[in-house]
């Protein structure tokens, strides 16, 4: 089946956060919304069909998991990532951010230190802070083309921490960490007794033929000292269906964590969760994902080519994964992030995420969501270029 990703799907006025609450992001509604990380592509038809089949039962009661759900996740991890996964080694959780919260609550205490590598997805900071934990910022280092880890500073900063929250692949820069980098992180954290929570929600969105490397797969140290969080929600554009999974290989950590989840009633999916996930992790899901990523790569290529020609002051970090592009806007010459935010919202009228939300290293940057029809990407670039010329 061939899918149409160029279709404009009307979303304004549908209680859609991306459109109806875009003023939360940039203070006005009359902008092209390219901020929150959901795509403007129709959710795959096989997901909708799974929901319709469940609806036809006529009663939306408590719903238990089924063998297809468990089997498809195991098979998908084996075929896509080479990960051997047994049914007892993972569990349902209601969202990856919720999973981070559950890890923080289960494995750390108030006042203890948690390390994050900024600039990074903002809930990495917000969730521990709101839980009374101390955040240790280990800054990524800007390279010519992207960001990288500074292992020497990681060794220094990790001391005294109880947990490290890793973004793999990285959001917002779209970095696919190498096996060697992940092995070194695993070794450093194992030596210091620091548990690694690896957010791998973008693991199915690698571009350019790359293969995702799960953190838990790189060494025995990583396998024994980590919790992996996955979800089909970003890849298959169904974040409104709350379904994710936590993978824990080490038996003692698994027993502690899964007991905590069950004891707090977080282990039961909603009426659609299991069916939708099972549909995503199927051969149909693989075909849809392949076509979607090809289209997204075309959008990224278009953005990079047009900005290089028409607006070289803005330098996109070409992502290795996902539909999110981190734009280096320091060449525009604005002295403050507020001025930069104002330019995009009030002059270009393009609604992007401010780089400052991702930490100190994000100042001077903006994050753009190009998971949308190509005509929308072109229109956004037109408005940015016109605003600069004006």
Please provide the average confidence, as pLDDT, over all residues in the chain: 98
In a domain, 11, yes or no: no
* pLDDT reported for residue 316: 98
At 366-389, the pLDDT tens digits run 999 999 999 999 999 999 999 999
Domain shared by 150 and 234, yes or no: yes
Look up residue 117 and give its two tokens: 């590598």
Rounded to whole angstroms, how far apart are CA atoms 175 and 317? Answer: 9
Domain shared by 244 and 352, yes or no: no
* pLDDT reported for residue 379: 98
Rounded to whole angstroms, how far apart are CA atoms 221 and 200? Answer: 18
* pLDDT reported for residue 336: 98
Domain shared by 128 and 228, yes or no: yes
Domain shared by 233 and 358, yes or no: no
Domain shared by 195 and 56, yes or no: yes
In a domain, 10, yes or no: no
Residue that terminates a domain, selected from 245, 264, 283: 283
Domain shared by 73 and 189, yes or no: yes
In a domain, 370, yes or no: yes
* pLDDT reported for residue 75: 98
In a domain, 6, yes or no: no
* pLDDT reported for residue 164: 99
In a domain, 290, yes or no: yes
* pLDDT reported for residue 26: 94
CATH code of residue 364: 3.90.1150.10
This prediction has a pTM of: 0.97
Domain shared by 125 and 191, yes or no: yes
Band of residue 102 on the pLDDT scale cut at 50, 70, 90: very high
Beta strands 141-142 and 134-137 are unpaired
Residue that terminates a domain, selected from 229, 257, 283: 283
Residue % of the chain over a pLDDT of 70: 100
At 159-207, the pLDDT tens digits run 999 999 999 999 999 999 999 999 999 999 999 999 999 999 999 999 9
In a domain, 5, yes or no: no
Rounded to whole angstroms, how far apart are CA atoms 37 and 108? Answer: 29
Domain shared by 209 and 267, yes or no: yes
Decide: residue 57, CB within 10 A, 0-12 exposed, 13-18 middle, 19+ buried: exposed
Mean per-residue pLDDT for 219-238?
98
Band of residue 87 on the pLDDT scale cut at 50, 70, 90: very high
**Neighbouring residues of 338: CB distance < 8 A, sequence distance ≥ 6:** none
Number of structural domains in the chain:
2
Domain shared by 348 and 332, yes or no: yes
Domain shared by 256 and 357, yes or no: no
CATH code of residue 97: 3.40.640.10
Q: Which residues span the domain enclosing 37? A: 17-43+284-389
Are the CB atoms for 113 and 355 separated by under 8 Å? no
In a domain, 222, yes or no: yes
Residue that terminates a domain, selected from 245, 262, 283: 283
In a domain, 323, yes or no: yes
* pLDDT reported for residue 269: 95
Are the CB atoms for 224 and 249 separated by under 8 Å? yes
Domain shared by 298 and 329, yes or no: yes
Domain shared by 183 and 259, yes or no: yes
At 260-310, the pLDDT tens digits run 999 999 999 999 999 999 999 999 999 999 999 999 999 999 999 999 999
At 3-27, the pLDDT tens digits run 999 999 999 999 999 999 999 999 9
Mean per-residue pLDDT for 214-227?
98
Of residues 280, 300, 270, 288, the one with CA closest to residue 370: 300
């Amino acid at each position: 089946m061939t899918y149409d990703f160029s279709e404009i799907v009307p979303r304004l006025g549908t209680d859609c956060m991306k459109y109806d609450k875009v003023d939360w992001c940039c203070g006005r509604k009359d902008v092209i919304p390219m901020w929150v990380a959901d795509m403007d592509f129709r959710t795959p038809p096989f997901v909708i069909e799974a929901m319709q089949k469940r609806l036809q039962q006529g009663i939306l009661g408590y719903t238990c998991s089924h063998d297809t759900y468990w089997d498809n996740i195991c098979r998908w991890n084996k075929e896509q990532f080479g990960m051997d996964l047994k049914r007892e080694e993972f569990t349902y959780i209601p969202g990856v951010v919720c999973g981070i919260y559950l890890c923080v609550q289960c494995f750390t205490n108030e006042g203890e230190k948690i390390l994050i590598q900024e600039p990074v997805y903002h809930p990495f900071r917000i969730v521990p802070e709101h839980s009374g934990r101390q955040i240790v910022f280990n800054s990524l280092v800007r390279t010519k083309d992207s960001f990288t880890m500074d292992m020497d500073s990681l060794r220094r900063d990790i001391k005294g921490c109880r947990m490290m929250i890793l973004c793999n692949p990285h959001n917002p820069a779209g970095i696919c960490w190498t096996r060697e980098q992940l092995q070194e992180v695993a070794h450093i954290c194992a030596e210091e007794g620091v548990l690694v929570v690896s957010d791998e929600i973008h693991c199915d969105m690698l571009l350019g033929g790359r293969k995702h490397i799960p953190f838990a797969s790189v060494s025995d140290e990583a396998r024994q000292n980590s919790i992996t969080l996955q979800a089909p929600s970003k890849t298959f554009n169904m974040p409104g269906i709350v379904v994710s999974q936590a993978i824990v290989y080490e038996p003692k950590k698994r027993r502690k964590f899964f007991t905590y989840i069950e004891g707090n009633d977080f282990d039961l999916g909603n009426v659609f969760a299991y069916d939708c996930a099972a549909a995503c992790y199927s051969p149909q899901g693989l075909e849809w994902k392949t076509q979607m990523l090809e289209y997204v790569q075309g959008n990224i290529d278009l953005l990079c080519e047009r900005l290089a020609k028409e607006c070289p002051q803005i330098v996109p970090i070409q992502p290795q994964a996902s539909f999110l592009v981190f734009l280096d806007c320091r060449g525009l010459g604005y002295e403050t992030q507020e001025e930069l935010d104002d330019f995009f919202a009030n002059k270009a009228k393009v609604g992007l995420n401010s780089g400052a939300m991702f930490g100190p290293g994000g100042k001077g940057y903006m994050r753009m969501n190009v998971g949308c029809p190509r005509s929308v990407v072109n229109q956004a670039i037109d408005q940015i270029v016109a605003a600069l010329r004006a």
